[in-house]
Amino acid sequence: MTYATDGYKLWMDYKTISDSALLKEYQSLIGSVQTYGNSETMKKATTEIYNGISGILGMKNQKLDGKFSIILGSYNNLPKTIAQQLSQELENLNEEGYLIKSFSNHIVITAKTDIGVLYGTFNFLKRLQTHQSIENLNILDSPKIDLRILNHWDNLDRTVERGYAGFSLWNWHQLPEYKDARYEDYARANASIGINGTVLTNVNSNALVLTPQYLEKVKALADIFRPYGLKVYLTARFSAPIEIGGLTTADPLDANVKAWWKNKVEEIYTYIPDFGGFLVKANSEGQPGPQNYGRNHVDGANMMAEALAPFNGVVMWRAFVYSEHDTTDRAKQAYSEFVPHDGEFQDNVIIQVKNGPIDFQPREPFHPMFGAMPNTNLMIEFQITQEYMGGATHLVYQPKLFEEVFESDTYQKGKGSTVAKVIDGSLDNKKITGVAGVSNIGTDRNWTGHHFLQANWYGFGRLAWNPYLNSEDIAKEWVRMTFTNKEESVNKLTDIMIASREAVVNYMTPLGLHHIMATGHHYGPGPWVSDLSRPEWNPVYYHKADNNGVGFDRTPSGSNATAQYAPEVATMFNNLETCPEQDLLWFHHVPWTYKLKSGHTLWDGLALKYQKGVNEVAEMQATWNQLENEVDTQRFNEVNMLLSIQYKEAKWWRDACLLYFQQFSKMKLPQGVEEPKHTLEYYKSLQFPYAPGIRPQW
């Protein structure tokens, strides 16, 4: 077996083009490369363009003598004769945007800043990797979102909460002296897709990272990342003034506490002059926060924001809150706590809201906070790692999910008020905008555990740059750069990816079911779980199956969570006729005999969806098998084995869930749905004490 393509190089393999006609064409077009500017970033751009072009054109150590010279440099560094001709177009770019322009015998890659030039360089190379024309180029592209950030849930002991690709990349023990080459490869990969920030540590945080011992290590990483435009952020434990500061309180209104954070922030900036700021999980799942002192989220967030403001740092304050003392529907609690404070947060606070109101389920309706806080900076948080979607074993192309959320209409200002417009700030003219993704990266050689899950990191970056991009186009782009440009194979690979998202919904949680996974590790089905200490941790809380039917009534006759949406949206969800069937059981408790649009009863429809999910995985396998001669042996075999596991586990989900729900429906499985191989007791008995990604403390 050849190990030549182990996935390490991600989408930047820069393999020589095998299509000889195209190769000749590019060789005839690409001439000398000239770069202007000598910042560290320009040095990276220069290395990238040389490596990229010489690799793709198969011309290592040979002179490039095509028609166009390739010119790289920010506007201020370009020769005047060239710069003058571009000044007007550059007006239309923001600080990170770039222009790629053909004129006379040049292709110029320029920007207002060197980082813009680096982004443009990656875009130009992508054109070559994806076999696009490089004649008459006129590409102006700026990111639509300010903060495009990975959130690592990495602990200081290198375990990764909900991480399925090995251990944390950050070797805290050996830092700052030992600088693993992978740190730079990581930064480069992020820059190639426009990610400009990284939160190094878990939101379930450890105050130690704020001590000098660790800040030196953080500085070492920040220094490596800086040329790639990647800023470092840290999670700030709210009780740090007590734990590492020797104070007796962390009350945000206490003068000593305020002074402690001010000094701490000043200290951090002596190590990392461009430190990005803090991400905070407060008063959520046992984390300390302002409510421990009778204060609210505004008090907590603004206190930290004041300390960071002189340095242009930001506070990303998470809205993922729900409490065992609050008996209202968990889906309503974040909105109830935050929306009354709209307009009270400082300008450098941005509230980080998960894409849906519960917790990164295979499908959730959009979070109602997106349509309800016009006067507060809001960023969206996706989970790239697959806590609820089979870890790194299941092939699930998540940009489909991200796209669905961005396209959802909040109706905040009438039709067309999409989540994308809320998040890019255009709906309400926000001061800071942001998109965060919980990273799926670890020490596995291929970074993400499953070759295809690299596409989720890639697609996250692309959509964070521009939330209006089409997820299928992104899939094609990634496939071309990572696997092949052969049209037929591109289509097959893309088909697998696109089908995968609905498949996982179907075999895990169809028709709006949610949170029915097993406890702790969240691996596999557990709809029967009902004995956990907090009611809202139990799957039975969410599906409410009984002899009449199944589903959570969130209409006015139930929890009335729908009232948190704009009236148009609430009306649509409230009405059984207009509620999209994909969200049916999220919003309604529906009789087993209810007639779905297909004419099937709910029970039959549910069973058929589970079966469909299984069949879809079988189809993904069949398509993959057709690609045996089109992809390298190593990746073919590895993906093949993972797809077999996915198929086996899809059946496990189907069988366990249907046997469980059948106790209530008391109806037979419809034709076309396979009979389970085991009893419900068998599925209930399965234990996975060492499943990966588990919270170490639980």
d(CA 505, CA 324): 28
Which of 148, 226, 281, 367 binds ligand GCV (CB under 6 A)? It is 281
Task: State the residue for tokens 């421990």.
Answer: 292
Q: Rounded to an integer, what is the distance from CA 562 to the centroid of its chain?
A: 26
The minimum distance between CB 359 and ligand GCV, in angstroms, equals 5
The minimum distance between CB 573 and ligand GCV, in angstroms, equals 24
The minimum distance between CB 206 and ligand GCV, in angstroms, equals 12
Nearer to ligand GCV, 223 or 326 (CB): 326
Nearer to ligand GCV, 482 or 538 (CB): 538
251 binds ligand GCV (CB under 6 A): no
What is residue 382's three-state secondary structure?
strand
d(CA 165, CA 232): 22
Nearer to ligand GCV, 204 or 410 (CB): 204
695 binds ligand GCV (CB under 6 A): yes
Nearer to ligand GCV, 474 or 508 (CB): 508
Residue 359 is a catalytic residue: yes
Q: Which of residues 620-659 bind ligand GCV (CB under 6 A)?
A: none
515 binds ligand GCV (CB under 6 A): no
CA 85 vs CA 79, 102, 136, 444, 684: distances in Å: 11, 11, 15, 47, 70
- Site mask, ligand GCV, residues 298-327, x = CB under 6 A? ----------------------x-------
Which residues are paired to 162 by β-bridges?
Answer: none
Number of residues counted as binding ligand GCV (CB under 6 A)? 11
600 binds ligand GCV (CB under 6 A): no
Does residue 590 contact residue 551 with C-beta atoms inside 8 Å? yes
d(CA 540, CA 627): 42
The minimum distance between CB 606 and ligand GCV, in angstroms, equals 26
The minimum distance between CB 354 and ligand GCV, in angstroms, equals 7
Nearer to ligand GCV, 12 or 203 (CB): 203
d(CA 351, CA 315): 8
- Copy the structure tokens of residue 24: 């000749």
SS3 for 521-541 is: CCCCECCCCCCCCCHHHCHHH
Q: Rounded to an integer, what is the distance from CA 116 to the centroid of its chain?
A: 22
Please pick, among 387, 604, 616, 655, the residue that the annotation labels catalytic. 387
> How many other β-carbons are positioned within 10 Å of the β-carbon of residue 195?
26
Residue 161 is a catalytic residue: no
Please pick, among 359, 381, 404, 444, the residue that the annotation labels catalytic. 359
CA atoms within 13 A on the CB side of 642: 19
The minimum distance between CB 151 and ligand GCV, in angstroms, equals 9
Q: Among residues 636, 671, 663, which one has the least CA distance to residue 492?
A: 636
d(CA 292, CA 282): 10
Task: Give the contacts of 628 (CB within 8 A, at least 6 positions apart).
Answer: 636
204 binds ligand GCV (CB under 6 A): yes
The minimum distance between CB 123 and ligand GCV, in angstroms, equals 33
Nearer to ligand GCV, 202 or 433 (CB): 202
The minimum distance between CB 203 and ligand GCV, in angstroms, equals 5
179 binds ligand GCV (CB under 6 A): no
Please pick, among 254, 285, 342, 632, the residue that the annotation labels catalytic. 285
Angle at 289 between CA 514 and CA 303, to 5 degrees: 125
Which residues are paired to 110 by β-bridges?
Answer: 99
Task: Give the contacts of 84 (CB within 8 A, at least 6 positions apart).
Answer: none
Task: State the residue for tokens 């926060």.
Answer: 289
Residue 184 is a catalytic residue: no
203 binds ligand GCV (CB under 6 A): yes
Does residue 82 contact residue 44 with C-beta atoms inside 8 Å? no
Q: Which of residues 356-375 bind ligand GCV (CB under 6 A)?
A: 359
Q: Which of residues 136-165 bind ligand GCV (CB under 6 A)?
A: 153, 161-162
d(CA 110, CA 127): 16
Nearer to ligand GCV, 460 or 478 (CB): 460
Nearer to ligand GCV, 139 or 532 (CB): 532
- Residues forming contacts to ligand GCV in the complex (CB under 6 A) are 153, 161-162, 203-204, 281, 285, 320, 359, 387, 695
Kindly list the catalytic residues: 285, 359, 387
